[in-house]
Amino acid sequence: MEKNDIIDFKALEKELQAALTADEKYKRENAAKLRAVEQKVASYEEFRGIVLASHLKPLERKDKIGGKRTVAWNCHATQRGTSQDETTEISQEKTLFQPETSAEFYRDWRRSLRSGPERYQALLQLGGPKLGHLFQTDVGFGLLGELLVALADHVRPADRLVVLGILRSLARTGRFTLNLSLLSHAERASCRGLFQKLQATSAPRPTKEGLSQRERGLEEQPGGLQEEERLLQELLGLYQVD
> Per the domain annotation, does 59 fall within a domain?
no
Domain containing 228: what range? 97-238
> Per the domain annotation, does 113 fall within a domain?
yes
Instruction: Please compute the mean of the pLDDT values over residues 222-237 and round it to a whole number.
Output: 81
47-56: long-range contacts (C-beta < 8 A, 24 or more apart)?
A: 47/182, 48/142, 51/141, 51/142, 54/28, 54/29, 55/25, 55/28
pTM of this structure: 0.56
The proportion of the chain whose per-residue pLDDT surpasses 70, expressed as a percent, equals: 65
Instruction: Please compute the mean of the pLDDT values over residues 39-43 and round it to a whole number.
Output: 67
Q: What is the DSSP letter of 186?
A: H
Per residue in 167-195, pLDDT tens?
999 999 988 999 999 999 999 999 999 99
Positive or negative, the CA dihedral 147, 152, 156, 161 is positive
> Per the domain annotation, does 20 fall within a domain?
no
Instruction: Please compute the mean of the pLDDT values over residues 36-44 and round it to a whole number.
Output: 69
Per residue in 132-166, pLDDT tens?
999 988 887 789 999 999 999 999 999 999 999 99
pLDDT reading at 202 higher than 50? yes
Q: What is the DSSP letter of 225?
A: T
Residue of 100, 192, 191 whose CA lies nearest to 148: 191
Q: How many whole angstroms separate alpha carbon 88 and alpha carbon 69?
A: 24
Spatial neighbors of 219 by CB under 8 A, at least 6 apart, are 208, 211, 225, 226
> Per the domain annotation, does 214 fall within a domain?
yes
pLDDT reading at 11 higher than 80? no
**What value does the mean pLDDT of the chain take?**
76
> Per the domain annotation, does 77 fall within a domain?
no
- Of 37-51, 102-116, 131-145, 161-175, the range with the highest mean pLDDT is 161-175
Instruction: Name the domain count of the chain.
Output: 1
Residue of 39, 32, 26 whose CA lies nearest to 56: 32
Give the pLDDT score at 90: 38
> Per the domain annotation, does 183 fall within a domain?
yes
Q: How many whole angstroms separate alpha carbon 219 and alpha carbon 208?
A: 9
Give the pLDDT score at 219: 42
Spatial neighbors of 165 by CB under 8 A, at least 6 apart, are 127, 128, 129
Q: How confident is the model at residue 68 (pLDDT cuts 50, 70, 90)?
A: low
pLDDT reading at 61 higher than 60? no
Q: How many whole angstroms separate alpha carbon 48 and alpha carbon 165?
A: 29
Q: How many whole angstroms separate alpha carbon 77 and alpha carbon 21?
A: 17
Give the pLDDT score at 138: 86
Give the pLDDT score at 84: 45
> Per the domain annotation, does 192 fall within a domain?
yes
**Cβ atoms < 10 Å from Cβ of 126:** 20
Q: How confident is the model at residue 4 (pLDDT cuts 50, 70, 90)?
A: low
Task: Give the range among 101-105, 150-154, 199-203 with minimum mean pLDDT.
Answer: 199-203
> Per the domain annotation, does 42 fall within a domain?
no
